[in-house]
Chains A and B, each alone.
Chain A
Amino acid sequence: MSASISELEELARRCRIEIVKMVYRAQAGHPGGSLSEIDLIAALYSTTMRVRPEDPDWADRDRFILSKGHASPGMYALLAEKGFIQHQDLHSYRVLGGICQGHVDMKWCPGVDFSAGSLGMGLSFGMGCALAARLDGSERRAFVMLGDGEIQEGSIWEAAMAATHHELGNLKVILDRNRIQNDDFCQEQMRMFDIPAKWKAFGWNVKEIDGHNMEEIVEGIKFLDSSNDGPSILIAHTIKGKGVSFMEDNPSFHGAAPNDEQYALAMSELGVVE
């Protein structure tokens, strides 16, 4: 499974369109963090994830844990593109009884490995998956996507320390470093200073990339694939709301839907021709 850079970019563009559509239809949800993460998730599933869309519960699949589970539109768009769910299912986002619940939920949606929504939980869960894989003698890996606001939770650092203690080379994290959280910029809410140095100090393999440059992303994923002596983290510098001008770097679009005019503008910016 190796897609070209332009194919990956095109996949991410299609996902971006679906993200904005989902949030627009629901008039609720989290576009900002979905648009910042989507290049990373698209590349991850297209280049390295060992999964079977037709058999989503395959026991030996790699796990993907969207710990920042509010950014669910990104995940749903990708799952639809990869055939885990139907494009029609995207219309059930935040709709009563729909498989696309507000926050990704493993009990509701095929291809989702974690019931998220409360921040700071996914890394410990991923560690559990990685330990289980080791006990099973399986090659499978656990990939965890964290938000940068999310790593303010203390439990993240409990897991970060424990993963090194247990030398979990099959635990791999992508940090969506978009510099914005719920209320405001991270800088205003809680300064985190040197994030790479913190992970290094906890014994992790660390690499930083531009999270919207597909070539760098593919290189970054290769780094995760090949660092197996302990846990590793790819710190992806991203732009919240990437791809929609008025959402970019704008804390207001952490958890808000576009209105009619904004929606039309977003669609045209994402290359949708009516």
Chain B
Amino acid sequence: MSRMAATRDGYGQALLELADNDRVVVLEADLGKSTKSLHFRKEYPERTISCGIGEQNMLLVSAGMASSGYIPFASTFAIFTERAFEQMRNGVARPNLAVHLCGSHGGTHTGTDGSSAQSIEDLAIYRTLPNVTVLHPCDDVSTRLLTKQLADSNKPSYMRTARNKTPVLYDDVDQSTIQIGKGIELREGNDVAIIACGVLVSEALKAAEDLSQQGIQATVIDMHTIKPLDTDLVDKVASRCGAIVTAEDHSVIGGLGGAVSEHLSTSSCTPLERVGVKDRFGESGQADEMLELMELSAPHIAKAAHRAMNRK
């Protein structure tokens, strides 16, 4: 489990593997080197459409192509996808066109570029759109597999990837367990359940390790699909553990924590603590410094687990 990789590399790899399907097209907005669509561009320039620095145009060009039978994969930084939010809403989600939007460099983990580049609201906003699948995988393997599944999904999607390397979790697992809409139970315990996504999944595993030293057994779930949420799994671990922590490099408002609490408020009275960015903007800092500053790292997740358990 020592390999380190960035999820954006899994995305780039998936596009290459999808190229056999000649309906797959790739759209860029001058960040292909960063989102990793550049590999596809090099091999298949005729199926790669440069939109210049024009995200709004990119989204609707994608919609037009989807309406004509193509399968567009469009990418830019997560933050700059947001400039085209209304295009995504009215031009893509409303007519239910299978445009696949990928936002790389999501979260404060993206680092020293600073607050203007650190999207902490993307999961929240895309989650509000009917028809749109929202994903935020935690390693390059799952990113690659989930991206490939999107091509057959016939629905629009938003996927967040991250800039920096994190531990790879799925090199040696049965790949059929990685499916859109199905959370993955990485560790089983009965005291508290930590439901995490993206770069915080490996932090959640560290937190569970620390908790076990204190005699607390934590379940850890990689909830790579934020929408549709795997509510069966949430209910299952809520009744088994009786306390829940959500963890994401995203605002505490509206993302994974929002989705899980919205669901739980209709199904059980399980205490829940949300680890996330506390309604503030980020700033320039190294990835690990940002996880500390924003109180997202393993020790903060473990503390939140205690708080949740105390409320049982």
What is the CA–CA distance of A149 and B33 in the complex, to the nearest angstrom? Answer: 15
Q: Choose the segment among A4-12, A79-87, A182-190 that binds chain B (4+ C-beta atoms closer than 8 Å).
A: A182-190
Q: Does A105 contact B (CB under 8 A)?
A: yes
The verdict on A190 contacting B83 (CB below 8 Å), with A96-B289, A96-B293, A118-B116 known, is: no
Tell me the nearest residue of chain A to B285, going by C-beta.
A96
CB-defined contacts of B286 to chain A, threshold 8 Å:
96
Nearest-neighbour CB distance to chain A for B12, whole angstroms, equals: 14
CB-defined contacts of A149 to chain B, threshold 8 Å:
30, 52-53
B79 and A118 form a contact (CB under 8 A): yes
CB-defined contacts of B38 to chain A, threshold 8 Å:
183
Q: Which residue from B31, B54, B114, B117 sits with its C-beta under 8 Å from A183?
A: B31
A102 and B284 form a contact (CB under 8 A): yes
Nearest-neighbour CB distance to chain A for B101, whole angstroms, equals: 17
B113 and A190 form a contact (CB under 8 A): no
Tell me the nearest residue of chain A to B37, going by C-beta.
A183
What is the CA–CA distance of A26 and B286 in the complex, to the nearest angstrom? Answer: 10
B117 and A117 form a contact (CB under 8 A): yes
**Chain B residues bordering chain A, tally (CB within 8 A):** 30
CB-defined contacts of A152 to chain B, threshold 8 Å:
30, 52-54
A118 and B112 form a contact (CB under 8 A): no
A183 and B116 form a contact (CB under 8 A): no
CB-defined contacts of B33 to chain A, threshold 8 Å:
182-183
- A window 93-124: CB within 8 A of B: 94-98, 101-103, 105, 108, 115-120
Q: Mark A176-200, 1 if CB is under 8 A from B, else 0.
A: 0000011100001110000000000
CB-defined contacts of B73 to chain A, threshold 8 Å:
none
What is the CA–CA distance of A190 and B32 in the complex, to the nearest angstrom? Answer: 14
A96 and B283 form a contact (CB under 8 A): yes
B31 and A154 form a contact (CB under 8 A): no
CB-defined contacts of A182 to chain B, threshold 8 Å:
30-31, 33-34, 53
Q: Does A150 contact B (CB under 8 A)?
A: yes
**Chain A residues bordering chain B, tally (CB within 8 A):** 31
Nearest-neighbour CB distance to chain B for A133, whole angstroms, equals: 25
B51 and A115 form a contact (CB under 8 A): no
Q: Mark B25-55, 1 if CB is under 8 A from A, else 0.
A: 0001011111000100000000000111110
Nearest-neighbour CB distance to chain A for B172, whole angstroms, equals: 34
Q: Mark B240-273, 1 if CB is under 8 A from A, else 0.
A: 0000000000000000000000000000000000
A119 and B53 form a contact (CB under 8 A): yes
What is the CA–CA distance of A20 and B55 in the complex, to the nearest angstrom? Answer: 31
The verdict on A94 contacting B52 (CB below 8 Å), with A103-B117, A181-B30, A182-B30 known, is: no
What is the CA–CA distance of A96 and B291 in the complex, to the nearest angstrom? Answer: 12
A102 and B112 form a contact (CB under 8 A): yes
B284 and A190 form a contact (CB under 8 A): no
What is the CA–CA distance of A102 and B79 in the complex, to the nearest angstrom? Answer: 15
- A window 20-35: CB within 8 A of B: 26, 28-29
What is the CA–CA distance of A180 and B296 in the complex, to the nearest angstrom? Answer: 37
B50 and A189 form a contact (CB under 8 A): yes
A96 and B284 form a contact (CB under 8 A): yes
CB-defined contacts of A103 to chain B, threshold 8 Å:
113-114, 116-117
Q: Does B57 contact A (CB under 8 A)?
A: yes
CB-defined contacts of B116 to chain A, threshold 8 Å:
69, 102-103, 105, 115-118
Q: Which residue from A101, A119, A189 sits with its C-beta under 8 Å from B284?
A: A101
B112 and A94 form a contact (CB under 8 A): yes
Tell me the nearest residue of chain A to B56, going by C-beta.
A154
Q: Does B158 contact A (CB under 8 A)?
A: no
CB-defined contacts of A89 to chain B, threshold 8 Å:
none
What is the CA–CA distance of A177 and B195 in the complex, to the nearest angstrom? Answer: 48
The verdict on A189 contacting B30 (CB below 8 Å), with A96-B283, A96-B285, A120-B53 known, is: yes
B30 and A183 form a contact (CB under 8 A): yes
Can you give 24 A-B contacts (C-beta < 8 A)?
A: A28-B112, A96-B285, A97-B285, A102-B113, A103-B114, A103-B117, A115-B116, A116-B116, A117-B113, A117-B115, A118-B80, A119-B53, A149-B52, A150-B53, A154-B54, A154-B56, A181-B52, A182-B30, A182-B53, A183-B30, A183-B33, A189-B30, A189-B50, A189-B53
Q: Top 4 A-B pairs ranked by shortest CB distance?
A: A117-B116, A190-B52, A152-B52, A102-B114
